[in-house]
Amino acid sequence: MKKKISTPKKVALAILGALTILTLVNLIEASVHKFKGDNHAFHVETHDDHFVHEDHEFDGDFDVDVDVSIDELDFKVDIKENKIVVKKHKGAVSFDGKAEGEVMKEKSFDVRQGELISVEVGDADIMVRTHNEEEAYVAILLDADNMRKAKEYFDDQNFEITYEGSAIYVRTNPVKKNYSWDVSGGAEITIDVAIPSVFNADIRTSDGDVVMSALEGTVSLHSSDGDISTKSITGPSVSIRTSDGDIQTAVLEADNIHIRTSDGDISVEDLSAKELLIRTSDGDIKGNTIMGQAAISTSDGDINLTSIEGDEINLRTSDGEVFVDQLFGKISKIQTSDGSIVLRDVSGDVTAKTSSGDLKVSLDKATNVYLRTGDGNIYVDAPSSYAAALYLKGENVQIDKGFSFSGEILEHSADGTINGGGYKFEARTSDGEVVFREN
C-alpha cells in the first residue's frame, strides 16, 4: 500500500510533472531516474508526454544534488529540507548554441552593412551571432531559480532596444543598483544579438560573459567581470577588455589590436596588426601566430608563443617563464624577473634578461644579441657561419671548437671574435655557466 504524499511534495512533483510534460513531448524512449536521500527514495519514469512517480519512506533532513539528463535536456534536482526543487540548467553560451530562458523583450530591424550595434548593460551575458542578411535581431532572455523575483529584478533594469539613425542601442537604466543573488531570484540574463557579418560593435557589460562570432568591422568588447571569446574579427581596430576573466580569440586582423584582462589568462590564435598590445596583470598568455609591433606582458604568469614577427617586439613577465618557438623581430626585448627564457630560431637584434632562471637561445639570422641572468645558466646554439664580437662571462665558459674563435678564454670569461667578428654578442650570468654551441 502506497503512503500518502505530503502537500509540499505534491507541489514539487507537480512542478516536475509540468516541466516533464512541457519538455518531453515527442520523446520516444522512456527513461527511469532514481533519487536517494538517507531514508528516502522515489522513482520518476518519463514517458512520451507524462510521468509516473512512486514514493517511499521520507524521514529526516538530507541534502542531495542530482543531475538528470534526458536526451539533450538537462535538469537540476535539489532535495533539501524536505523540499524538492527542479529547474533546467542554463546552457553555456557558445558560438553555435542558442541562449536559453524566457524571452522578455525582442525586436528586429532592417539594417545595412557597416552600421553599429551598441550594448551597454549592467548584469548580462551577451552573445553576438552574425549572418549574411541585412537584418538585425535582439532578444533579451531571462532564466532564474525564482522567476517571480527575477522578473521584478528584470523590470527594475529598464531594458531598452532602439534603432536610431544607423545604430542599434541596447541599454539599461536600473532603478536599483544593489541586488543580492537571492533578492534577484538568481536571475541570469542573456542578450542574444544577430547582425550582418559586416558591422561595427561596441559591447559592454558590467558582469557577464561576451561571445562573438566572425565579424568584419570596428569592434570593442568590454566586461567588468566575465570571460570574452571571439571568432575571427577583421577591421580597423579591435579592443577586448575584461577586469576579471579569461580572453580567448581566433583570427584577429586590424591596424590596432588591444587585449587586456586584470586577472585572467589570454589565449590568442592568429593575430596581425600594425600595433598590438596584450596584457594581463595575473595570468598566462598563449599565442600561435602573431605579426606586428607587439607589446605583450603579464605581471604574474608565463608567456608561450609559437611564432611572432614584427619590427619591435616586447615580451615581459614579472614572475614566469617565456617560451617562443620562432622569434622574427628586428628588435626584440624579452624580460622576466623570476623564470627561464627559451627562444628558438631567433632573428634580428635581441635582448633577453632574467633575474633568476636559465636562458636557452637558438640563433637563426640573429644580429646583435645581449643575454643576462642573475642566477642561472646560458646555453646558446648558433650557426657555424655566425660572425660576432663575442664576450661571455660566468662561473664556467665554453665555446665549441667548430667556431673560428680569436681572443682570450679564461676560467670565467671569454673575450674575442668568432668568424672574424661582426655583430655584437654578449652573455653574462652571475651564478651559472655559459655554453656557446654550434647548431
Q: Which residues pair with 193 in a beta bridge?
A: 128, 138
- Global pTM reads 0.77
**Domain residue extents for the chain:** 7-88, 93-217, 284-439
pLDDT band for position 98 (cuts 50, 70, 90): low
State the pLDDT at residue 198. 97
Q: Count Cβ atoms within 10 A of the Cβ of residue 320 and give its class: 0-12 exposed, 13-18 middle, 19 or more buried.
A: buried
Cα–Cα dist 40/58, whole Å: 5
Three-state DSSP at 118 gives strand
State the pLDDT at residue 238. 98
Compute φ and ψ for 297, nearest 5 degrees. -150, 150
Contact assessment for residue 217 and residue 134, using Cβ atoms and an 8 Å cutoff = no
Compute φ and ψ for 226, nearest 5 degrees. 170, 165
Compute φ and ψ for 178, nearest 5 degrees. -110, 105
Instruction: Find the mean pLDDT for residues 180-186.
Output: 74
Cell numbers at 318, concatenated = 614579472
State the pLDDT at residue 411. 83
Compute φ and ψ for 117, nearest 5 degrees. -110, 125
pLDDT band for position 80 (cuts 50, 70, 90): very low
Q: How far apart are the first and last CA of the chain?
A: 85
Only one residue has cell 557558445, namely 94
Q: What's the length of the chain?
A: 439
Cα–Cα dist 84/5, whole Å: 13
| For residue 41, pLDDT beyond 80 | no
Cα–Cα dist 1/115, whole Å: 69
